[in-house]
Structure 1
């Protein structure tokens, strides 16, 4: 099965990255009006608010945590006084809480989308599929926790981090780094990469339009003067 390991962890990551960037650009260029999240917020709004908030906060937190955890060289967090074991425990606790929160939110969104006939009629098959796929990925992440708890020395964490950095740096032999990693980690990696592959073909493409620029925007108050009132005052 060396060829499968080589494909999934040596070639597939680059295929996903190419599809993510070029596919998103092509969709924006050819179908700009489909670049939206297609909200159904007017239907069963209360369940949407709770489910969506839990789900999106979880996904954002997990994305930031995974990115920082996998791409930060060990020398950096050692310099900050964080040992490998402490980093592993931190990842287990925060990742577990965020994944559980996301699973609850995802379950609420799935229930809402599948049990309400009005929402189901406005849903595309890809909407339901991508929601179920992300929910499955969250469950896979939770399934890795027992394995991580049994290996607090951070062996697998360090291997996965080294693999991630080697992929981004286009270093040869990346696939061999994860050849002995347990299957649950490998499946979690493959599903995570597949999410990037699916972005241009699903509603996930709206991540490119996230209004993050609002965070640093100054508050403005618009004041309009009625010319007639101004003249009467004079």
Structure 2
């Protein structure tokens, strides 16, 4: 079982995640969307969506720091285990609670708002169950890993070395098998979440509209072409990653009859 969970399942998860994403992009581009329901209800969405998205962003950053950065590096910079675990407890708990509250509001909104509930598919329900299970398990491991019973081995001695060993195709199965049960459960749920990721609305995370941060201003002009303000029209940002599609204006000449010809 340890060989399958910690030596085989991670690579199955990567194959399904990558292959499923490619398949979804090639054959279901019109379904590559969050299926936004903002038109049906926006009051709860304005509260739950920022809580969930900002919380999950901090959670992802915390996972990257905890799994990728070796313990020897933090020791080299003089960061003690107490300081590290205190920061992990503070930021991890706040981010986990924000994420859990946010997704709870979104689920409550989806369950109690008629049109939103009607637009909810079985696929969405499965995704929410796995997502909430991953968040709850992660929050539990954060709290228990610091204030729970004393453990000689932490995730920095077990889960992190195992995670890094996967990239060199030499999975450290022994290290992961020594991890506590809560970390093992959280890891398995996380792998299940990534396996269903390409086939749910979560796939929209791979196409975040980062380009919007760098696109030029939208310039509005009056019908007669005169500036809309007394100061004139300010030069907008130069387009980034796009081509100039502004049509050329051809010169106007006057004919013998006094009319205009373009």
TM range (shorter): 0.7 to 0.9
Matched with 1:212 is 210
Pairing partner for 2:119 from 119, 122, 128: 122
Contact 1:58 1:99 survives alignment (8 Å): yes
Is 2:36 the counterpart of 1:39? yes
Question: Shift in Å at residue 226 of structure 1?
Answer: 5.6
User: Any idea what the Cα deviations from partners look like across 1:139-179, whole Å, max 9, x if unmatched?
Assistant: 1112223431134876333311111101122114x222111
Contact 2:158 2:178 survives alignment (8 Å): no
Question: Shift in Å at residue 102 of structure 1?
Answer: 0.9
Gaps of 5+ in 1: none
Alignment size in residue pairs: 226
Distance 1:35 1:25 in 2: 11
Distance 2:23 2:7 in 1: 25
- Partner of 1:157: helix, strand, or coil? coil
Higher helix share: 1
- Partner of 2:102: helix, strand, or coil? helix
Query: Which structure is larger by alpha-carbon Rg, 1 or 2?
Result: 2
Matched with 1:168 is 167
Coordinate RMSD, CA, aligned? 2.3
Following superposition, which runs of at least 4 residues in structure 1 exceed 3 angstroms of deviation? 150-154, 218-221, 223-231
TM, length-normalised to structure 2: 0.79
Q: Which has the higher contact order (CA 8 A, sep 6+)?
A: 1
CA distance 1:39–1:14, shift in 2 (3 Å)? same
Distance 2:195 2:170 in 1: 21
Matched with 2:95 is 98
CA distance 1:176–1:153, shift in 2 (3 Å)? closer
Question: Shift in Å at residue 214 of structure 1?
Answer: 3.7
Is 2:83 the counterpart of 1:86? yes
TM, length-normalised to structure 1: 0.87
